[in-house]
Amino acid sequence: MSQGTTYAVPPFDPYAKPARPVPQPGQPITDWGLAIDAPLRLDDPDAYTWDEQADMVVVGLGGAGIAAALQGLEEGLSVVAVDQYDGGGSSAANGGVYYAGGGTSIQKEAGIEDTPERMFTYLKAEAGDVVSDETLRDFCETSPATLDWLRGHGAPFQASYHPEKTSYPPIDKFLYHPDSTLSAPFRDITPPAARGHRVHFRNGNKPWGVGAGMYNKLREAALAKGMVFHPTAEARQLALDGTGRVIGVRVLRFADAATQAKYSKLMAKGAAWMSMLPGTFPGSRVTMKVGYRYLAKARALEGKGRVSVWIRARKGVVLSAGGFICNPAMVRHFAPEYAPGLPNGTLGDNGSGIMLGVTAGGKTALMERVSAWRFLNPPKAWGQAMLVDGKGARFVNETWYGARIGDEMVERHDGRGYIILDQKLFKKALRDAFGHGVLGFQRDITIVNCLFAATRGKTPEDLARKMGFDPATFAATLDAYNRTARGEGKDPFYKTAEEMIALDQGPYYAIDASVDARMFPIACMTVGGLAVDEATGAVQGVDGGAVPGLYAAGRNAVGLCSNLYVSGLSYSDCIYSGRRAARAMAAT
């Protein structure tokens, strides 16, 4: 390891936090604004009147759902998919980054050297033991072929390479480093390799909604192969046979086309407002609230004109309806320390898919885990500065990937974080905001926080007093940072002198980057869900073994990114876990 120590990255056991109460199996769930009925039990399923039947029923047609559907069709299964809204979910709404490596066709075209072993070594440092080494190796070894599968179905990727650290690449670059591989100690653990494959798709100049460029192609392919899709169909209840096997699902659908069209229009307006500004941009809380108002109007329609439809699943049900970050009451229950953060998701991320699984006896895990993203670069100057906690002490390498910084800040430093700048770095940050490749939202966040949200102190002592830092702690932190920046010492967080600039020219500034920062919201997404068999995606039961006929994928399930997230890992986990469930179902 670098710097003569075996300490690599902050140790963290994702299972260390006490689990919060989950509803009991077999009971209806009305907590947190949900309305999920207890399972229907049928001793003679053949005698029941089903409205529709298929081998596989997919609940939630986002990234994981479409991957399951398309793979299932390729395996010869008939597929019916339902979605509470119009499909796509967070996979279509995201920035279109897909994490892949091990020597993908795009990496090779760009001249990037990578191997499955290098990819495994890096991800092991991030994922820890949240999945087995066998599962993580399989993900890495199959990554090149998976990307080719996506490309074969029309998903557009491009090999223009961006070599520098950034939270999101310039609009004309499509392969970049979406993680901490360029930062120490990770670059010493294994050679860096660009694994962020951004979809070659434009949503204007916005860095969101780009994921639709891949999702839409996969949905087109699935529809062409015979997938039946029912939008605006809300899953409310599972059906079990006499042995406890999941054999179907009840959905609520609009009886007339006019009401459904009005509902979809309201939902589209809500989604447009919720995605109007990136989650880290000041003002995004307001647009999110407007989006929720449209959601409320749509909800009012749900009480009128919907009918129950029972769909039989001859082989099984795949739950792939997203996480629960857009259910504030549920976040407050399971992960209250993240409640002040800004939800990074879509309206379907309400936890209903997870709780459907709970009613059938499914076991949950890591419901307390949330990925909070505190990106500091760009502007580059913020990454060259230092980030301190509420006492005035540093706690991370400021060049690390945003989810690792956010995890350190919220989990172990009371959600407090403050970017410390001196006069020259403050001015440099404003210049960096207009640098080549900096996107509009990255520029605007910098300007707003520098000009309107920075606390100014004439001296370090003055700044410490205004911020409430412990004076001795802050003084020692600043002194150690400056000595390292001048090449007089080694940084305990692995920054090199070249990555630091001494903070020695007053006045001094502090920018609030805490979990509840008013002008610098921190985007959050839930990463816990149903526990699954890693070989099949079968939902694990609270009483041991699997819940027969029930599978979970994407953010309905614990997966690769349920410890520490890096950009694109959830999207790739959706594809990996969705296809896994379909293969397992076809094999039964």
Chain segment 182-211, per-residue pLDDT in tens: 999 999 999 999 999 999 998 877 888 999
Looking only at the bridges linking them, the beta strands covering 523-526 and 370-373 are antiparallel
**pLDDT given at position 287:** 87
- The C-alpha atoms of residue 133 and residue 532 are separated, in whole angstroms, by 15
pLDDT by residue (tens digit) across 63-72?
Answer: 999 999 999 9
- Residue 306: strand, helix, or coil: strand
- Residue 550: strand, helix, or coil: strand
Residue at 335: amino acid letter? A
Of the candidates 272, 322, 317, 251, the residue with the CA atom closest to the CA atom of residue 63: 322
Burial class (CB in 10 A: 0-12, 13-18, 19+), 109: middle
- The C-alpha atoms of residue 431 and residue 379 are separated, in whole angstroms, by 8
Residue at 330: amino acid letter? M
Across residues 40-57, what is the average pLDDT?
98
Phi and psi for 38 in degrees, rounded to 5? -65, 150
> ω before 328 within 30° of 0 (cis)?
no
pLDDT by residue (tens digit) across 505-534?
Answer: 999 999 999 999 989 989 999 999 999 999
**pLDDT given at position 296:** 84
Has residue 443 got a pLDDT over 50? yes
**pLDDT given at position 561:** 95
Of the candidates 224, 216, 178, 219, the residue with the CA atom closest to the CA atom of residue 200: 216
Burial class (CB in 10 A: 0-12, 13-18, 19+), 45: middle
**pLDDT given at position 202:** 87
- The C-alpha atoms of residue 138 and residue 135 are separated, in whole angstroms, by 5
In the chain, domain spans: 31-90+209-248+259-371+525-587, 97-198, 375-512
**Dihedral of alpha carbons 203, 209, 210, 213, sign:** negative
Right CATH number for 31-90+209-248+259-371+525-587 from 3.30.470.30, 3.50.50.60, 1.10.10.10, 3.40.50.10900?
3.50.50.60
Across residues 444-467, what is the average pLDDT?
96
Q: Which CATH architecture has domain 375-512?
A: Alpha-Beta Complex (3.90)
Across residues 366-388, what is the average pLDDT?
97
**pLDDT given at position 282:** 63
Across residues 108-115, what is the average pLDDT?
98
**pLDDT given at position 586:** 98
> ω before 163 within 30° of 0 (cis)?
no
Has residue 7 got a pLDDT over 50? no
- The C-alpha atoms of residue 123 and residue 200 are separated, in whole angstroms, by 25
**pLDDT given at position 4:** 34
The mean pLDDT value of the chain amounts to 94
Has residue 545 got a pLDDT over 80? yes
Pick the more confident residue, 289 or 542. Answer: 542
Is the separation of the CB atoms in 545 and 533 below 8 Å? no
Is the separation of the CB atoms in 426 and 418 below 8 Å? no
Give one DSSP letter per residue of 13-81, joined into a string.
-TT-SPPPP-PPTTS-B-GGG--BPPPEEES-GGGS--SEEEEEEEE--SHHHHHHHHHHHHTT--EEE
